[in-house]
Structure 1
Amino acid sequence: MTQRRYDLDWLRIAAFAILILYHCGMFYVSWGWHVKSSHAGPLIEPLMMLANPWRLTLLFLISGAASRFMADKMRAGSFVKARMGRLWPPLLLAVFVIVPPQSYYEILEFLQTHDLPQSPWLDNFYIKYVTASGNWCDEEGCLITPTYNHMWFVLYLILYTLALAVLLPLLRRIPARAVAWLIAGPGIFLAPWAFLFATRVFLFPLFGESHDFREDWYLHTLYLGVFLLGFGIAKHQPFFDAAVRLRWPMLALGLIAWASLQTYFQIYTLTEAPPPDWMRIAFRGVREAQAWAAILCVIGFFHHHFRTRDTLLRQMLSRAIFPFYLIHQTITVVAGHHLDRLGLPVWVEAPLLIGTTALGCWLFYDLGRRIPPLRIWIGLPSGKGGLAAP
């Protein structure tokens, strides 16, 4: 399999698009986020939970597969250099330019919610942000800056790429049949599900999900493991053939698991009683069954329908989707804050928020690709290959 894997390109585009829409949805749910709509509530939370257990796991799996195709074409040193050159500049741009408005509006909404004066909290905001001297604290803790917010994904990808470079000599000695044996037959579902279940049961209660790379051991175990699995299955065609055969059963299993979880949450929300430990553990298994079934399902459908489908749209979106991801959350936060102040009904506000985010993403990408010095800062190659547009 030496030809370009168009199905993985399309899947990567779709995964990032789901993530961008998910962050728009975070403006409207009751869960904590940087800014909130006055319309926020539990209404769309079941829909959000359709994607919540697997959206990022899928991205790390795809990243591992992409790393395999890159690593097989170059030496380990060249591979690391190429990946660092594409990941570090966007991360630095995010930390010092793109993310600060998110922190600004998070603090502003906190002040407005608590009827506190903006000064001195926001005086010389950027200086305080980059020097970690803001002392932006409340009873729940402090906002530590400078920070990476949604770009934690890129930082973790950098760390896992460095780990992969160290492991490459060992991984290349592992016989392909070892991977084939692990995920043969029922193992294609059971082996990854058992890994996801074990990490959720034993590590999640200890470490939670902090996105602080220094202590995020549950997510490091989960995402590094999935990243390496993606590396292992990238060129193992039987895995993709099996995913195609299982795509409909996995769709059914994923929906059944999701519906079971919603019933479980509703019962214990209404009763206001904590579930027994055995049930909590069992439904963690159900959650991970939903996650891996969904991943197998989408891999199967995309491999079946898109493995040979190349279009100008794919070529453009393959380049644009990472710059979209880079900028989208700041647009959503800023636009959401100001749209909420207009007092619009939610059926007007939500489409405006999504449309503004989409338009802002496109303008950011289109501007960045046309100015050569900016290209590497938004994750594009430094040449002019990305200037053509359909």
Structure 2
Amino acid sequence: MKTTERRYDIDWLRVIAIALLLIYHSAIVFQPWGVLIGFIQSNKGLSWLWVAMSMLNVWRIPLLFFVSGMGVCFAMRKRNWKQLVWERSKRILLPFIVGMFVIVPIHVFIWQRYYSQPLSYDWGRGHLWFLGNIFSYVIILLPVFYLLKHKADVVQGYVSKVFSHPLSILIAISLFVIEVVVVKPDSFELYAMTLHGYVLGFIAFLIGFLMVYSGKAFWQRVLSMRWIYLTLAITFYLVRVIKYELIASHIFTAIESILWIYTIFSFGYRYLNHSNKALAYLSKAAYPVYILHMIFLYWGASLLIPFQMPAFITFAGVNLFSFAGSLLVYELLLKRIWWIGLGFGLNTARNIGQKHYAPKILVSNKA
């Protein structure tokens, strides 16, 4: 017999991860190399901010892939493979295409104008590169996922037993370490449009799916070990800062990445597994806001940097402009014109204003 458990913490973590990405992107504006990767760069830096951002950098993108894999497991509960592909096409592929050809060219145009470059229509994956990765993972792993779904009576108990073991974290660590040893990335944190980012994302996506598939026993295990994960993650981070000056070996960084991710999932499961009106709103707004935010980040930076205010005030202003502008467009345009909202990951007009429901995990008594 199976029961259901609502999982609001996964929604919260997705919202928080996207919010941190917006702040992270704003921080790049105040680093001495920002312009080299296509950001508008302030002549007043906040180099110290990068110490904190470097902690986020080793897990911010892998976490999104973990959560995306979890989302597919949730979505498969009541969908056949055709419905899943159609739903992910609307949710991921369509916003990816709209973003490449509409959103990215706008913020590139702002950059060109700010630096007095020739104005041109320059489309590309930009900050939405990972959406293309995620959609490809869905297609590639679809046969595996549906085999696991239809053979759950045979397979799920075994997966649950493996993932609920105290040392199951070593599976994720081993796969991350193997990836960096084989792929040999130039930088562990260089995820965007690289082989490293693609393979690491694939591993994280698959593990995220299996975390949900394995059932409640896994989550009870990570909950019981949350303080161990946190202590180890902080220790690895401090060693990376003090001994390696933020640039440790890829193997060291891969281990730290998993420790932070398991820490986040365990504390999220403990403290965020509840809903309220804020989550109901933010869970719908976070995705389109992320798609839009680079336009307002570049626009805000181009308007505020010339005032030559103290760097931290400008940083706060860029963040406020980015969040507020994106939310305003979401509120006034995307929510109200369904066919525009569809291009930004909002499902359909009939979903707007509906009560929010968190994903459910089917929990076997065997787990």
- TM-score bracket for this pair, using the shorter chain length: 0.7 to 0.9
* Residues 111-153 of structure 1, C-alpha deviations (whole Å, 9 max, x = no match): 55xxxxx4xx22xx23xx3xxxxxxxxxxxxxxxx20200012
Give, as a single letter, the amino acid of the residue that structure 2 aligns with 1:187: L
Structure 2 equivalent of residue 141 of structure 1: none
Structure 2 equivalent of residue 338 of structure 1: 303
Alignment: residue pair count: 345
Indicate the SS of the match to 1:234: helix
Q: Taking structure 1 as the reference length, what is the TM-score of the superposition?
A: 0.82
Please, which runs of 5 or more residues in structure 1 have no aligned partner? 113-117, 130-145, 269-279
Q: Using the alignment, how far apart are the partners of 1:30 and 1:206 within structure 2?
A: 19
Structure 1 equivalent of residue 138 of structure 2: 161
* 1:262 and 2:241 correspond: yes
Equivalent of 1:87 in 88, 92, 106? 92
- Please say if residues 207 and 217 of structure 1, whose CA atoms lie closer than 8 Å, have aligned partners that are also in contact: no
How far apart are residue 238 of structure 1 and its match? 1.5
Equivalent of 2:212 in 197, 221, 234? 234
How far apart are residue 5 of structure 1 and its match? 1.2
How far apart are residue 64 of structure 1 and its match? 0.6
Q: Using the alignment, how far apart are the partners of 1:310 and 1:44 within structure 2?
A: 32
Alignment of 1:259-298 (within 5 A): 259-266=238-245, 283-298=249-264
Structure 1 equivalent of residue 156 of structure 2: 176
- Please say if residues 29 and 43 of structure 1, whose CA atoms lie closer than 8 Å, have aligned partners that are also in contact: no
Q: Using the alignment, how far apart are the partners of 2:355 and 2:79 within structure 1?
A: 29
Alignment of 1:1-390 (within 5 A): 2-32=4-34, 33=37, 34-109=39-114, 111=115, 118=117, 121-122=118-119, 125-126=120-121, 129=122, 146-172=123-149, 173=151, 175-205=155-185, 209=190, 211-212=192-193, 216-235=194-213, 236-266=215-245, 283-307=249-273, 309-367=274-332, 368-387=334-353
Q: Using the alignment, how far apart are the partners of 1:31 and 1:2 within structure 2?
A: 48
Q: Using the alignment, how far apart are the partners of 2:337 and 2:10 within structure 1?
A: 28
How far apart are residue 247 of structure 1 and its match? 1.4
Q: Using the alignment, how far apart are the partners of 2:323 and 2:98 within structure 1?
A: 20
How far apart are residue 3 of structure 1 and its match? 3.9
- Please say if residues 30 and 45 of structure 2, whose CA atoms lie closer than 8 Å, have aligned partners that are also in contact: yes
- Please say if residues 30 and 44 of structure 2, whose CA atoms lie closer than 8 Å, have aligned partners that are also in contact: yes
Give, as a single letter, the amino acid of the residue that structure 1 aligns with 2:48: L
Please, which runs of 5 or more residues in structure 2 have no aligned partner? 357-367
Q: Using the alignment, how far apart are the partners of 1:75 and 1:300 within structure 2?
A: 30
* Residues 175-220 of structure 1, C-alpha deviations (whole Å, 9 max, x = no match): 12442344343422211111111212221337984633xxx33222
Q: Using the alignment, how far apart are the partners of 2:24 and 2:255 within structure 1?
A: 21
- Please say if residues 46 and 312 of structure 2, whose CA atoms lie closer than 8 Å, have aligned partners that are also in contact: no
Indicate the SS of the match to 1:370: coil
The structure that has the greater radius of gyration is 1
Q: Using the alignment, how far apart are the partners of 1:249 and 1:186 within structure 2?
A: 11
Indicate the SS of the match to 1:94: helix
- Please say if residues 10 and 306 of structure 1, whose CA atoms lie closer than 8 Å, have aligned partners that are also in contact: yes
How far apart are residue 108 of structure 1 and its match? 4.1
Q: Taking structure 2 as the reference length, what is the TM-score of the superposition?
A: 0.87
Q: Using the alignment, how far apart are the partners of 1:300 and 1:267 within structure 2?
A: 25
How far apart are residue 40 of structure 1 and its match? 2.6
Q: Using the alignment, how far apart are the partners of 1:267 and 1:56 within structure 2?
A: 18
- Please say if residues 101 and 334 of structure 1, whose CA atoms lie closer than 8 Å, have aligned partners that are also in contact: no
- Please say if residues 36 and 337 of structure 1, whose CA atoms lie closer than 8 Å, have aligned partners that are also in contact: no
Pairwise CA RMSD: 2.4
